[in-house]
């Protein structure tokens, strides 16, 4: 299954940008996002992370380091890893448990890409990460799951194409069904 995921490592250099501060993590959750960037696939996101192009305002209760960073970006053809899963990212809820305890996966939705292929690849990667890290299906959550202090609304409509009316519903349950199907194949 890992071969089908087509996982590549293209790490942000330790000590730079999103990895300038190393915060150790034992992952207990997997958080699923979508990029809401309609012109970039996984390789472009990887470059942007390595070049420090994805800045975010650093505020008292907001982003802790001034950059966005997450663990994996998935598109229709590849999954790219940007940082070790033993380090905390900045992708979910600032200083909250989403960042402190979860592996962040971004799904690409660039125009013309095959979104269902991206979703399948994401489901397979999620299953592999569950198996490796003993993470149960109930701890696979959408970004929506983690409220963001000081933001309105606190619960983001993300990944928006797997939400129903801005929150988890039928589409999210169908995605979890796919993840569980692949997870069972690994057991
Ligand atoms: Zn998100």
pLDDT tops 90 at residue 82: yes
Question: How far is ligand 1, taken at its centre, from the CA of residue 142, in Å?
Answer: 8
Count of residues making up the chain = 187
Please give the torsion angle defined by the CA atoms of residues 128, 170, 78 and 136, in that order, rounded to the nearest 10 degrees. Answer: -10
State how far the Cα of 119 lies from the Cα of 36, in Å rounded to an integer: 14
Q: Ligand 1 centroid vs 158 CA: distance in angstroms?
A: 5
Q: Which residues surround ligand 1, an ion (CB under 5 A)?
A: 33, 143, 158
> How many angstroms is it from 44 CA to the middle of ligand 1?
18
pLDDT in tens, 117-146: 999 999 999 999 999 999 999 999 999 999
Please tell me the distance between residue 106's alpha carbon and the centre of ligand 1 in angstroms.
Answer: 7
Q: How far is the CA of 173 from the centre of ligand 1 (A)?
A: 17
For residue 15, the CA-to-ligand 1 centroid distance in Å is 24
Q: What is the pLDDT of residue 56?
A: 85
Sorted by where each begins, the domain ranges of the chain are: 2-186
**Ligand 1 centroid, distance to 35 Cα (angstroms):** 7
Average pLDDT of the segment spanning 31-43: 97
CA of 30 to the centre of ligand 1 (A): 12
Return the residue matching tokens 């982003």: 63
Indicate whether 63 pLDDT > 90: no
A 10 A CB-CB count for 171 gives: 15
pLDDT mean across residues, the chain: 96
Handedness of CA 143, 145, 151, 156 (dihedral sign): positive
Superfamily of domain covering 2-186: Peptidoglycan recognition protein-like (3.40.80.10)
Half-sphere exposure (Cβ direction) of 67: Cα atoms closer than 13 Å:
20
Share of the chain above pLDDT 90, in %: 90
**What is the 146 CA–ligand 1 centroid distance (Å)?**
10
Residue 14 near residue 23 (C-beta atoms within 8 A): no
Ligand 1 centroid – CA 164 distance (Å):
15
Query: How confident is the model at residue 61, as a pLDDT?
Result: 76
Q: What is the per-residue pLDDT across 41-58, written as a single tens digit (0 to 9) for each?
A: 999 999 999 999 998 878
Instruction: Name the one residue in this structure whose structure tokens are 């790490």.
Output: 11
The string of pLDDT tens digits covering residues 152-162 is 999 999 999 99
């Amino acid at each position: 299954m890992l071969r089908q995921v087509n996982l590549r490592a293209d790490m942000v250099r330790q000590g730079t940008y999103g990895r300038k501060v190393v915060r150790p993590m034992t992952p207990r959750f997997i958080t699923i996002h979508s990029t809401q960037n309609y012109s970039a696939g996984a390789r472009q996101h990887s470059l942007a992370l390595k070049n420090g192009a994805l800045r975010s305002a650093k505020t008292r209760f907001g982003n802790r380091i001034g950059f966005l960073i997450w663990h994996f970006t998935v598109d229709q053809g590849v999954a790219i890893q940007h940082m070790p899963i033993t380090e905390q990212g900045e992708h979910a809820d600032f200083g909250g448990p989403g960042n402190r305890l979860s592996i962040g996966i971004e799904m690409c939705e660039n125009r013309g890409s095959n979104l269902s292929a991206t979703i399948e690849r994401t489901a397979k990667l999620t299953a592999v990460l569950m198996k490796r890290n003993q993470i149960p299906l109930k701890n696979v959550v959408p970004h929506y799951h983690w409220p963001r202090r000081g933001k309105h609304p606190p619960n983001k409509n993300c990944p928006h194409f797997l939400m129903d009316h801005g929150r988890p519903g039928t589409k999210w349950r169908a995605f979890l069904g796919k993840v569980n199907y692949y997870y069972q194949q690994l057991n």
